Amino acid sequence: MTGVEVAECIEGRTSIRVFKPNPVEDEVVNEALRMANLAPSAGNLQARDFVVVKGASIKKALAGAAYGQDFVRTAPAVVVFCADLERIGHYGDRGRTLYCLQDVAAAVQNMMLYLFDKGVGTVWVGAFDEKKASAALNLPDHVRPVAMVPLGYPAGKGVRRKRLPLDQLVHREKW
């Protein structure tokens, strides 16, 4: 394996909210999208879609939908990860309320780790008004925006947040 090992990516990745203005190369973004889509998905239905946003006016609208998190606007690009509620329809309510969200989450993590390995910073944004984001992106009714991932070359270092000790989180056999 070339590049950074997976464990190094997991341990090294931090949320980046300040970006250099230069764009991330299309080849890197496209390969990151391919990596995102290689994530596992329920029934291999891949009930997730990706909207890549580089335009200033749409990024501004997304920042507004994200309750004024201005780094959404200032990032060179934002990928909005969406759940396709029609594509997951085969699984009924559980598919629409859980499986498609799991599909999106796995794809986000794949993309973020890949981009970290390429020196690109990211941050996972889940706090936003879905209706405003949907309107900004002109999403069809069966598509739900789940996560925004602003990305770009870091202008500074992220902060390593403290994690709870495993003995507070891990349960063996029973709770």
User: 175 in a domain, yes or no?
Assistant: no
Instruction: Give the tokens for residue 31.
Output: 């390969």
Total-model pTM: 0.95
Instruction: Give the tokens for residue 74.
Output: 């200032």
Nearest to 35 by CA among 146, 128, 112: 112
Share the mean pLDDT of the chain.
96
User: 74 in a domain, yes or no?
Assistant: yes
Q: Is the pLDDT of residue 1 over 60?
A: no
Higher per-residue pLDDT: 53 or 158: 53
C-alpha torsion angle, residues 99, 103, 108, 109 (rounded to 10): 90
User: 61 in a domain, yes or no?
Assistant: yes
pLDDT tens column, 47-61: 999 999 999 999 999
User: How many domains does the chain divide into?
Assistant: 1
Q: Is the pLDDT of residue 160 over 90?
A: no
Q: What's the gap between Cα 79 and its chain centre?
A: 7
pLDDT tens column, 134-144: 999 999 999 99
User: 59 in a domain, yes or no?
Assistant: yes
* CB contact burial 40-77 (16+ within 10 A = b; e otherwise): ebbeebbbbbbbebeeeebbebbbbbbeebebbbbbbb
Q: Which residues contact 125 (CB under 8 A, 6 or more apart)?
A: 66, 69, 72, 147, 148, 149, 150
CATH code for the domain in which residue 37 is found: 3.40.109.10
- Average pLDDT (161-167) is 94
User: 164 in a domain, yes or no?
Assistant: no
User: 38 in a domain, yes or no?
Assistant: yes
Domain of residue 89 covers 6-157
- HEC readout, 5-61: CHHHHHHHCCECCCECCCCCCHHHHHHHHHHHHCCCCHHHCCCEEEEEECCHHHHHH
User: 139 in a domain, yes or no?
Assistant: yes
Q: What is the DSSP letter of 122?
A: E
Decide: 108 and 79 in contact? Cβ < 8 Å.
no
User: 65 in a domain, yes or no?
Assistant: yes
